Amino acid sequence: MNKKLVATLSLSALALIACGGGKGSGNNAKIVVWGPDKEEPVVKQIVDAYNAANPNDKIEYTFVAITEADAGTTVANDPTVKGYPSLFALADDQLSNLTTIKGIVNPLGTAAAEEIRANDVETAITAASIDGNLYAYPISVDNGYFLYYDKRIYTEDDVKTLETVLEKAAENERTFVMDVPNGYYSASFFMSPQVCGTDSLGYEYLPSADGTKQIAKYECNWDNDAGAEMALESSKLMVQYGANTSDTNSTWLAVDDNGLMGQGAKLAACVSGMWMADHLGSTWGADNVGAVKLPTLAGNQLSSFAGTKLYCVNSYATVAEQTTAHKLAQLLTNKDSQLIRYKLRNSIPCNKDAQADESYTSTLASNPTVAALQTQSQFAAVQSVAAESAYWTVGEGIGDVLTKGTYTENDVTTTLDTVAKWKTYLSGALSAITNPAGL
């Protein structure tokens, strides 16, 4: 997929990176960097090139592998945790908690902010900003999901509707995976442009009644007639194909990434993101991997979240550590570094010049995952604007009920078999974020 990129992204790119901080002081502090395991070789290649060209200004670091989701949560809970990071990667929906609520991440300096505004795409700038101030260094704009399918089972027409995707999987005694009991994916059914809309979930922070903290208050209309009707139709399909069970022989498996990868060759199709491309290529064979936007369900285009991955500097680190962390963050997110990351991780650049670079554009025709994500972005909500930490538990609960078609409260189980019942359930479930306690 990236053979041409490997050839064209030659030592000249690394030379440019290496010269990026050539005027460094030579007083860099050794820092800890947190990021996903696939980011480690990216950091190593870039820093090794920099250090080779700048022997008097070497950057020393220890890399700790941790997901973007876990990194932000862990730092938010305790920014001085043993082995704390000076620099850490996270998903953009966690930024507001680390800034507005916890005060752990500070605004970037003027020069760094101007550099990002001049060179990065608008969606990345928005994702890295709170109230107009930039707080983070955008890494990539590939934090979203779409449909993968085995081309030996499906035609391009087959994957246009979820009903057909499931029908073909069942006919071939194969499985379809979508982790609906996860707020990241359960929102897909409600945010459809034909249902409640991609702007149907959003929040603002308001001061608590006692004035001691900020609380997220959401606007969300998923409990309207359209949302309840989509919930009813979606849930029927999930129950029909076994998403409400733990039976691994079901057609629809509502499991996480580990469960997905455990399916092996039995998998026919799945909803996932760029991070699953390598696994599916080795499972199905690279030539058999198809990728497209999400299908429709009951005639409604399924939606998604579009997110940006970010690097943040921990303000609880020492001043020297923060200085080095900012230097490294700028080095890791410039144009040439983003092209290296695309080569090594298939991460979509957010730097405008990188997106226009021939070494990137020349690979798009042979990289269906990038095309799928870019097409799906037309039907996606910007994650940092739509959701923060309070939503995910609510979204998880709604997703779990979708897969079962029933709701249990006070030991009483209700079968959600009408639009009216779904409206009642959704109103109650959403009240935790639309009318949060403490305001």
* pLDDT confidence of residue 365: 84
d(Cα 223, Cα 225) in Å, to the nearest integer?
Answer: 7
> What tens digit of pLDDT does each residue of 412-435 get?
999 999 999 999 999 999 999 999
Let me know: does 208 contact 217? Beta carbons within 8 Å: no
Task: Give the angle subtended at the CA of 236 by the CAs of 220 and 270, to the nearest 5°.
Answer: 80
Pair of tokens at residue 439: 């305001």
- pLDDT at 246 (0 to 100): 87
Let me know how long the chain is: 439
Give this prediction's pTM.
0.84
| Torsional class of 92: left (φ above 0), alpha (ψ -120 to 50), beta (otherwise) | alpha
The rounded distance, in Å, linking the Cα atoms of 278 and 285 is: 10
* pLDDT score of 107: 98
| Lowest mean pLDDT segment, chosen from 52-66, 320-334, 356-370, 399-413 | 356-370
pLDDT at 13 over 80: no
Q: Does domain 146-304+381-434 fall into CATH 3.60.150.10?
A: no
Which residue, among 86, 139, 54, 144, has the nearest Cα to 344 in the 3D structure?
A: 139
Please report the pLDDT score of residue 17 as a whole number: 44
Condensed to tens digits (0 to 9), the pLDDT of residues 142-197 reads 989 999 999 999 999 999 999 999 999 999 999 999 999 999 999 999 999 999 99
Collapsing DSSP to helix, strand or coil, 304 comes out as strand
Instruction: Look at residue 350 and tell me whether its pLDDT is greater than 70.
Output: yes
CA-closest candidate to residue 240, choices 169, 189, 160, 150: 169
Q: Distance (Å, rounded) from C-alpha 302 to C-alpha 161?
A: 10
> Which residues are within 8 A (CB) of 114 and not within 5 positions of it... i.e. 6 or more apart?
none
DSSP for 317-351 reads: S-HHHHHHHHHHHHHHTSHHHHHHHHHHH-PPP-B
Taking the C-alpha atoms of residue 381 and residue 315, their distance in angstroms, rounded to an integer, is: 30
Taking 50 as the threshold, does the pLDDT of residue 284 lie above it?
yes
DSSP bridge partners of 408 = 413
Count CB atoms within 10 A of the CB of residue 365: 9
Q: Is 302 exposed, middle or buried (0-12, 13-18, 19+ CB in 10 A)?
A: buried
Question: Number of C-alpha atoms within 13 angstroms, CB side, residue 220?
Answer: 33
Q: Can you give the pLDDT at residue 24?
A: 54
Task: Give the sheet arrangement for strand 289-292, strand by strand.
Answer: 252-253, 175-177, 267-272, 146-150, 289-292
Cβ(304)–Cβ(144) below 8 Å: yes
- Phi/psi for 84 (5° steps) reads -55, 150
pLDDT at position 248: 87
pLDDT in tens, 185-229: 999 999 999 999 999 999 999 999 999 999 999 999 999 999 999
| Confidence at residue 25, expressed as pLDDT on a 0 to 100 scale | 57
Q: Start-end ranges of CATH 3.40.190.10 in the chain?
A: 3-143+306-374, 146-304+381-434
Left (φ > 0), alpha (ψ -120 to 50) or beta: where does 145 sit? beta
Instruction: Say yes or no to pLDDT of 377 above 90.
Output: yes
**Mean pLDDT confidence for 291-316:** 98
Q: 3-143+306-374, what's its fold?
A: D-Maltodextrin-Binding Protein; domain 2 (3.40.190)
| Average predicted confidence (pLDDT) for the chain | 93
pLDDT band for position 47 (cuts 50, 70, 90): very high
For Cα atoms 22, 28, 30, give the angle at the middle one, nearest 5 degrees: 135
Helix then strand then coil, in percent of the chain rounded to 5, is 50, 20, 30
Angle, alpha carbons 433-437-438 (nearest 5°) = 125
Measured between alpha carbons, how far is 291 from 328 in angstroms, rounded to an integer?
Answer: 34
Q: How far apart are the first and last CA of the chain?
A: 52
pLDDT value at 5 more than 50: no
Contact (CB, 8 A) for 239 and 406 = no
Q: Which two tokens stand for residue 100?
A: 């507005």
